Amino acid sequence: MRIGIDFDNTIAAYDHVFLAVARQWLLLPEGFQGGKKAVRDAIRNGSGGERQWQRLQGYVYGKQMQRATLFPGVGDFLHQCKQQQIPVYIISHKTAFAHFDEDRTNLRNAARAWMEAQGFFKEAVFAIDPSNVSFQDNRGEKLNKVKQSGCDVFIDDLEEIFLDPDFPPSVNRILFAPGGDAPQNKLFQVFSSWRDISNELFGCR
Do 138 and 188 have their domain in common?
yes
**Model pLDDT, residue 10:** 97
**Model pLDDT, residue 183:** 74
Summarize pLDDT for 48-75 with one digit per residue, the tens: 889 999 999 999 999 999 999 999 999 9
CATH of the domain at 92: 3.40.50.1000
Range of the domain at 114: 3-13+68-202
Partners of 8 in beta bridges: 12
Do 107 and 126 have their domain in common?
yes
Q: Which helix (H) or strand (E) segment is 128 a member of?
A: none
- Are 84 and 48 within 8 A, CB to CB? no
Phi/psi of residue 160, each to 5°?
-65, -25
Nearest to 160 by CA among 140, 137, 134: 140
Phi/psi of residue 120, each to 5°?
-60, -35
Do 93 and 192 have their domain in common?
yes
Do 125 and 167 have their domain in common?
yes
Cα–Cα distance, 77 to 132 (Å, whole number): 17
Do 48 and 93 have their domain in common?
no
For the whole model, what pTM was predicted? 0.92
- Are 7 and 90 within 8 A, CB to CB? yes
The gap between the terminal CA atoms of the chain, to the nearest Å, is 20
Longest CA span, the chain: 51
Domain boundary residue among 66, 91, 106?
66
Three-state DSSP at 175 gives strand
CA atoms within 13 A on the CB side of 112: 14
- Are 112 and 12 within 8 A, CB to CB? no
Do 21 and 117 have their domain in common?
no
CA atoms within 13 A on the CB side of 96: 0
**Model pLDDT, residue 186:** 85
Do 169 and 159 have their domain in common?
yes
**Model pLDDT, residue 204:** 59
Do 101 and 143 have their domain in common?
yes
Cα–Cα distance, 111 to 124 (Å, whole number): 20
Going by the DSSP 8-state scheme, the letter that residue 27 receives in this structure is -
Q: Block means of pLDDT (10 residues each) for the chain, length 205 residues?
A: 97 95 91 90 89 92 96 97 97 89 88 97 97 97 97 96 96 91 83 95 76
Do 27 and 79 have their domain in common?
no
Cα–Cα distance, 43 to 36 (Å, whole number): 11
Do 28 and 94 have their domain in common?
no
Do 27 and 102 have their domain in common?
no
Domain count for the chain, please give it.
2
Going by the DSSP 8-state scheme, the letter that residue 117 receives in this structure is H
**Model pLDDT, residue 79:** 96
Do 150 and 128 have their domain in common?
yes
